[in-house]
Chains A and B, each alone.
Chain A
Amino acid sequence: MKKLDRNGRHPVRLTLNGMPEEGFAEPRMLLTDFLRHEVGATGTHVACEHGVCGACTVRIDGKAVRACLMLAVQADGAEIETIEGLAEADGSFGPLQQAFHENFALQCGFCTPGFLMSLSEYLEKNPDPTVEEIKVALSGNLCRCTGYHEIINAGLDAAKALRERRQQTD
C-alpha cells in the first residue's frame, strides 16, 4: 500500500496528447492545477471548481471527465488529451475547432476547450447525433455568453466533418 504524505510533492508521470510529461504534486493538487501550473498546458480552463460548469473537461484514457474533480496523483500513468491536442499535425484547426470557428460558436472563448473535449468523446460514441441528443450531451458544459445555438450547430457540423473523414480513411 502506497501512502503519499500531505506535505510531500510526489512525482506524477502521464502522457499528455501523446507526449510524456512529468511533474510533482501534493496529494491535494487538482489535475487542473497540475496541467496548468506544473505542465504549463493552460488550454484547460478552470471556473467553478466543483464539477458544474465543464470548462475543465479533458479526456482521460479516452473518457471526457472534469479535471477539477480529480487529483493529479490519481492521473499518474494516465493518457490525457486536452484542447492542445485537437489541432492537426501541421497546426491547422481540427474538425471540431474548424466547426466552432465557422459557426461563430464562441464569444469570449473561456468555455470552449471544455465544449470541444466533451464533443471529442461524444462524437466518437454517437457519430450522427440529433439536435436533441447534442443538447443533452452538451448540458454538462456552461457557456455564459449564451451562445448555445451556435455551439449546437457547430457540434452537428463537426459530426458531419468527422463522418466524412472516417469514410475517406475507412
Chain B
Amino acid sequence: MKPAPFDYVRAECLEDAVAVLAEHGDEARILAGGQSLMPMLNMRLVRPEVLVDIGGLPDLARIEDESETVAIGAAVTQGGLADWPDLTSALPVVAAALPHVGHFQTRNRGTVCGSLCHADPSSELPLCLALLEGEVELHSARGVRTVPADDFQRGVLTTAKEPDEVAVRARLPKARDGERFAFLEFQHRHGDFAVVAVAAKRSGDSVSLAVGGVADRPEVCHWDALPGDAVDDALNDLAWALGGSDDIHATARHRRQLVRHLGRQAIEATAAGGAGA
C-alpha cells in the first residue's frame, strides 16, 4: 500500500524539528531512518499531517564517547553503531544484540533512537537500554529532559515521549571492569522479531536479566546473589511473573519455557565469560 498524503519537512537543524512538533503536536511525526515508521505509513496504521525528517542532521549523526556513557545521536543508524570500532569494549551487550536487529539492509537506515522510540516489546535495543539502565534525552519547545530507561518505555509501542518531543540522543552506560554480559534470543527466522530475547549482566555476585518479548515492555530482574542451584527457581518465578500471553508466534507456555532456558544460558554465559569477556 501507499502512505496517505502528508507534508514533508526536511529539518535543517534540531530547532526546526522542535518548532514543527510544537505547532502540530501529535499530527506530526519524526522521520529518521524510517524502518519502523515507513511500514506503518505504507499500511496506513499512522496518518500524520506532517513528517519531519531529521535523518540528515549531522549533529545528530554522532556517537560520542563520554567518560561513563556513550551518547548515540538520533540519526545514528544501527549499522553505523555496529561499525563503531569501540563498540565491543564500550557496549559489549549492544555489540552482541545488533546483528539480531532486522537485517543488514534495514540496519543501514534504521536508527538506534528510532528503535527505542518505536518501543516494540520484543525489540533488541530497548532491551539493552533497560538492562544497562540507560536514558533518553528529549527536546521540545518547553525544554530538555532526560528520562531513565525504566520510565521511558511504558508498554507496547508506548513511551514517555510526549507528542511535542523529539528524542535527540540515547545514553548507554559503558561496561565497567569486571562486568560481564550476554545476549541471546529465539526467533523463527533470522531477522524476525524475537519471540523471547534475554540480556544478562553480572557484576561480582549480582546478576541482572532483561527479558523482551514476554511482558508488554522489556523487564529487568536483579538478584544481589544468584548461586547456580538457585537459578532455575529464580527463572521459573520470573517466567510466571512476566505474564506473557498467547499470540500467533508462540504460546504463553512456550514463552515461559524460553525464559527459563535462554535465561539460564545467558546467566551461565556471564559466569563463563559472555559478551564482555
Q: Which residues does A use to contact B, with CB under 8 Å?
A: 1-7, 26-30, 33, 49-51, 54, 57, 63-66, 68-71, 73-74, 118, 121-122, 135-137, 139-140
Contacts and interface: CB of A to CB of B under 8 A. Distances in A.
A96 B243 CA distance: 49
A5 B5 CA distance: 9
A110 to B, nearest CB: 17
A1 B105 contact: no
Interface stretch (B33-41, B156-164, B259-267): B33-41
A64 B102 CA distance: 13
B39 A69 contact: yes
Given A137-B104, A139-B103, A6 B5 contact: yes
B144 interface: no
Nearest to B190: A139
B126 interface: no
Given A30-B42, A64-B108, A74-B53, A139 B191 contact: yes
Given A27-B51, A50-B43, A69 B109 contact: yes
B39 A1 contact: no
B10 A2 contact: yes
A70 B34 contact: yes
B236 interface: no
B106 interface: yes
Contact of B5 (A28, A121, A122, A139): A28
B9 A68 contact: no
Contacts of A140: 102-106, 191
